[in-house]
Amino acid sequence: MQFAAERMLIDGQLVESVDKEWDDSVNPATEETIGRSPRAKKADMARAVDAADRAWPKWAAMSVNERAEILTEFASKLHSRADEVLRVEVADTGNTITPMRGDVSVAIESVKYFAGLGREIKGESVPATPDNLHFSIREPYGVVGRIVPFNHPVLFAVSRSAPALIAGNSIVIKPSETSPLSTLVLAEIAQEVFPPGVFNIVTGTGPIAGDALVRHPKVKRLAFIGSVPTGLAIQRAAAETCVKNISLELGGKNPMIVFPDVDVDEVAQAAVSAMNFSWQGQSCGSTSRLLLHEDIHDAVLAKVVEIVSSLRLGDPMDESSQMGPINSLTQLKKVQHYVQVAKDDGARLETGGKRPAGAQFERGYWIEPTVFSQVTSQMRIAQEEVFGPILSVLKWSSIEEAIQIANSTEFGLTASIWTNDLNKALWTARRVRSGYQWVNGASVHFLGTAFGGFGNSGTGREECIEDLLSYTETKSIHVMLKTPK
């Protein structure tokens, strides 16, 4: 299987890199080369940023309605090629096709949401003095840079770009080098819709293309989704060239806190679903720490192990597959490393932790879904983000202990609380240091509500009006009035 899209989008043109070098894309299920993407250099990124810098003033000068119409057309054209985008992305990421089908739908919904929200880009009037007029307006930054992770390439490239674009900014997107192919299809769609330079996609490696985007002095607003170490590196690199506004949606080691009054079968199924095994656990919001009250610990653990052990691994294109391969060899080695670390630290392997048996799994980046019990909050498996299909199960006896465990990591992205006692649920939610929480639920995002984390899980909020306004700067204007004669 080979995919034809292989050009970046710069200044309204589908182009190769200046050096005409390429990176091969590998299907993680088979290790087969399925396409290629340009290996952009600093000069390519500079060309894209310069194009974006030329384009944004005219784009910003359009009315909100005009920009909204273009974004809506973009969403429509994406919808018409949704199946193609889906199949490219499944082959390139290894994510299973059934849940990934929703990614394009969510991306389209997000574009429509922000297109309709454009008129909320408002300033304020302030009664600073009684005799004059003091007010503010919001204006776009100009050129926005966004670096997209490997787990949801099109979803993040589309949904997270919409607020920046409706606010009047142009954008340069750098997708992950391990899963760039679906964004190259996106480049073809965007070329048909946006004025040249408004929407740019530049592929390549993080240390070269990504670093060039981060350091470029014309990029005053940056957004990144990925790991904490990379987020820290972006902050350092960006600060070396000019002052920038940076939002970071980083990792998580998210807790699911389960009280003893719940239904064992229901919460066990929810714990498996919330681990996002359909994405091989490669989701920042996965509740990878399952905190079970001692009264139900054994019963829930047994049920979780039963469900996880029965998950069907297979071809990500197969609708019946419940888990696919890890995204890349590098990521697979990381997951395998943490399996060994957990064993060395004394955690008990309940299921998984190895390459699945069978001829179809001899090639590809496969590992079984994995559950560890007898995990303590000090263990690395309970402190560090694996970004893979490893669920750690911890036991607690008092609510104070549960909260202490939940807040014991550097992260604070999501949390899930399970109990039939509403007061207890809300009391716990107020004390857990996570930015996005569910009570008797998990994993689902609700457009219009602020998504983002505490601690080293990041800065800024997305998927809401705060996201939109973060792509604007406030300008204060003071009109000094005189009494008419």
Measured CA to CA, the distance from residue 169 to residue 56 in angstroms comes to 6
Measured CA to CA, the distance from residue 48 to residue 85 in angstroms comes to 24
Give me 306's structure tokens: 């039963």
Residue 140 backbone dihedrals phi, psi, to 5 degrees: -70, 155
Residue 101 backbone dihedrals phi, psi, to 5 degrees: -60, -30
Kindly name the residue from 89, 177, 249, 463 that is annotated as catalytic: 249
Q: What angle do CA 258, 263, 266 make, to 5 degrees?
A: 85
Return the H-helix or E-strand segment holding 173: strand 170-174
* Per-residue CA distances from 144 to 52, 160, 169, 268, 427 (Å): 9, 11, 7, 42, 39
pLDDT in tens, 358-373: 999 999 999 999 999 9
| pTM of the shown model | 0.95
Is-catalytic flag, 249?
yes
Q: For position 286, what pLDDT does the model report? A: 97
- Which domains are present in the chain? 8-250+458-476 (3.40.605.10), 255-447 (3.40.309.10)
Amino acid at 322: Q
Q: For position 1, what pLDDT does the model report? A: 65
Q: For position 149, what pLDDT does the model report? A: 95
Burial 361-390 (b: 16+ CB within 10 A, else e): beebbbbbbbbbbbbebebebbebbbbbbb
Kindly name the residue from 284, 385, 462, 464 that is annotated as catalytic: 284
Measured CA to CA, the distance from residue 97 to residue 75 in angstroms comes to 21
* Per-residue CA distances from 410 to 66, 234, 342, 385, 406 (Å): 43, 18, 19, 10, 10
Measured CA to CA, the distance from residue 357 to residue 360 in angstroms comes to 8
pLDDT in tens, 117-168: 999 999 999 999 999 999 999 999 999 999 999 999 999 999 999 999 999 9
pLDDT in tens, 261-301: 999 999 999 999 999 999 999 999 999 999 999 999 999 99
Is-catalytic flag, 284?
yes
Q: For position 342, what pLDDT does the model report? A: 98
Q: For position 3, what pLDDT does the model report? A: 76
pLDDT in tens, 422-472: 999 999 999 999 999 999 999 999 999 999 999 999 999 999 999 999 999
Mean pLDDT computed over 216-221: 97
Mean pLDDT computed over 18-33: 96
Measured CA to CA, the distance from residue 307 to residue 327 in angstroms comes to 23
pLDDT band at 5 (very low <50, low <70, confident <90, very high): confident
Mean pLDDT of the chain: 97
Q: For position 162, what pLDDT does the model report? A: 98
Residue 363 backbone dihedrals phi, psi, to 5 degrees: -115, 155
Q: What angle do CA 18, 21, 27 make, to 5 degrees?
A: 135
